[in-house]
Structure 1
Amino acid sequence: MSPRKETVAARIARVLSQRIISGDLAAGERLRQDHLAEEFGASHVPVREAFRLLEAQGLAESEPRRGVRVASFSQERVREVAEMRAALEALALREAAPHLTSAILAEAEAATLAGDKAADVVAWEDANRRFHRTILAPCKMPRLMAAIDDLHAASAHFLFSAWRSEWEPRTDRDHRTILHHLRRGEVDAAAEALARHVRRVSHKPVESSGRQTSSLFLMPG
């Protein structure tokens, strides 16, 4: 069976999600239907569908009489995404565990090493997402994985907003702990370690235009 062709709405949503996650479209920025229809050479119908896809990912939000805007976020929203990821990823890992081969675990370890060597947040996020997808995709539950992918997009939005202009290299000990348990067949311990990992919400001081320091909350994994 040949791969399903990407719809116009999906293509628009994919491009806009990349712009939002990278910070090219800032939180609160309005997404103008007319401008986007012209840019993508499409009618308003697929643009509206793209907006719905972005809302499902938590990357956009619509307001009565104000249209659709890039989603802003708060500590509460970050924690909501963290709790949802913890529950869904632990479920996916338990389902995937019987299918995890030594080759798959080696691939996950390679993704962790790539993250350790990442020169910027873009490279780190790519390696981090590869680690999670590698150990979770064998669950063979496509709807569950689609929901997890949407939550990872929201996590990346939080992450990039804080680390777009600077990056602090890090060693991901949580990933190594998860792999250690999986190699020993300790599935419950691995799932618990994964849930703790994605629940860990930290904050980074940032300076506003008024030179007052505030805290921007994000997820490290």
Structure 2
Amino acid sequence: MPTDLSAGSHPVSFRDAQFEPRQSTSRFIADALRAAIVEGALLPGEPLRQDAIARQFSVSAIPVREAFRQLESEGWVTIEPNRGAAVSLQSADEAREIYEIRASLESLAIGIAIEHHTPETLADAKRLLEAAENEPDPALYVVRNEQFHMSLYAPADRPRLMELIGQMHRRGERYLRLKLGLPIHKDSSDAEHRAIFDALVARDIERAQTLVARHLLATGELIHRFLADAQALAQSSHVKKKRRASSRTTSPKADE
């Protein structure tokens, strides 16, 4: 595998830590690969070499295959017969759909949770809001962002709803990083988070639901446009290259 998934200067190894049977091993590998994809260490379309990953983690091929299957079910990895596993390509339509689903789930969750918030849970949400606002590292901001959002909904006491929201957060992690490429987008997200929190404190259910949905739908549309424009540019460049190559092969030879 071309990318060394390392912890500091030492490859991640199970020999240095206690771990449970194979299920925990495969989960650990899946988490490491997912983090590498989110952080851009593994790029869209990049092949994942089962044997190389197994050697790096000092395990057999079995937990690596299980990790691949887990990541495939989450949309991070594509597995094709006779070709193996590769990092899934980014999709403009998938990004938009993820945020559409999040908008529905999270507006529902905050509507249920808002009346159950206490001074303690509001203080916790405010702390996480400020942590996100003050986080300059895009990779860590993704974590802070999820923590803040989940703190808004936790008092709803709907474990299955929270599980679904968590799944959508994980599916959207690498897309969120695209939005954070320019500081202005982080600034706008922080301002929208602050407005959502203010509506929460005011116990204004309708406003809180509207702001959460608007925040997430706008993010989905922004990422969709970014990816769609990038895809169109790449296709245009490919067409131009083919035309230039065709013109070179069909142009008459110079007189000898």
**Alignment partner of 1:139 is 2:162:** no
Once the two structures are TM-superposed, the CA of residue 18 in structure 1 deviates from its matched residue by: 0.6
Q: 1:37 aligns with which of 54, 61, 80?
A: 54
1:189 alignment counterpart = 207
Larger CA deviation: 22-31 vs 188-197: 188-197
1:199 alignment counterpart = 217
Map 1:78-97 to 2 at 5 A: 78-97=95-114
1:9 alignment counterpart = 26
Once the two structures are TM-superposed, the CA of residue 44 in structure 1 deviates from its matched residue by: 2.6
Map 1:7-156 to 2 at 5 A: 7-156=24-173
| Secondary structure class of the residue paired with 2:187 | coil
**Could you say if the C-alpha distance between residues 60 and 144 of structure 1 is closer, same or farther in structure 2, counting changes exceeding 3 Å?**
farther
Write the distance in 2 (CA, Å) between the matches of 1:143 and 1:51.
24
1:173 alignment counterpart = 191
| Secondary structure class of the residue paired with 1:118 | coil
Once the two structures are TM-superposed, the CA of residue 130 in structure 1 deviates from its matched residue by: 1.5
Note if contact 1:108-1:135 (Cα within 8 Å) is conserved in structure 2: yes
Write the distance in 2 (CA, Å) between the matches of 1:140 and 1:48.
35
Note if contact 1:120-1:167 (Cα within 8 Å) is conserved in structure 2: no
Amino acid at match of 2:52: H
Once the two structures are TM-superposed, the CA of residue 163 in structure 1 deviates from its matched residue by: 4.6
Q: Which runs of 4+ in 1 moved over 3 A?
A: 161-164, 166-169, 203-206
Amino acid at match of 1:44: A
Amino acid at match of 1:175: H
Larger CA deviation: 117-126 vs 8-17: 117-126
1:217 alignment counterpart = none
Amino acid at match of 1:115: A
**Could you say if the C-alpha distance between residues 114 and 185 of structure 1 is closer, same or farther in structure 2, counting changes exceeding 3 Å?**
same
| Secondary structure class of the residue paired with 2:79 | strand
Note if contact 1:112-1:175 (Cα within 8 Å) is conserved in structure 2: yes
Once the two structures are TM-superposed, the CA of residue 26 in structure 1 deviates from its matched residue by: 0.4
| Identical aligned residues as a percent | 33
Amino acid at match of 1:152: H
Once the two structures are TM-superposed, the CA of residue 167 in structure 1 deviates from its matched residue by: 4.3
1:219 alignment counterpart = none
**More strand as a share of residues:** 1
Note if contact 2:103-2:216 (Cα within 8 Å) is conserved in structure 1: yes
**Could you say if the C-alpha distance between residues 52 and 146 of structure 1 is closer, same or farther in structure 2, counting changes exceeding 3 Å?**
farther
| Secondary structure class of the residue paired with 2:85 | strand
**More helix as a share of residues:** 2
Gaps of 5+ in 1: 213-221
Structural RMSD (CA)? 2.8
Please say which structure displays the higher CA radius of gyration: 2
Amino acid at match of 1:10: R
Amino acid at match of 1:116: E
Q: Could you say which structure has the greater relative contact order, defined with CA pairs below 8 angstroms and 6 or more residues apart? A: 1
How many residues are aligned here?
208
Write the distance in 2 (CA, Å) between the matches of 1:89 and 1:56.
22
State TM-score, norm by structure 1: 0.80
Write the distance in 2 (CA, Å) between the matches of 1:74 and 1:209.
14
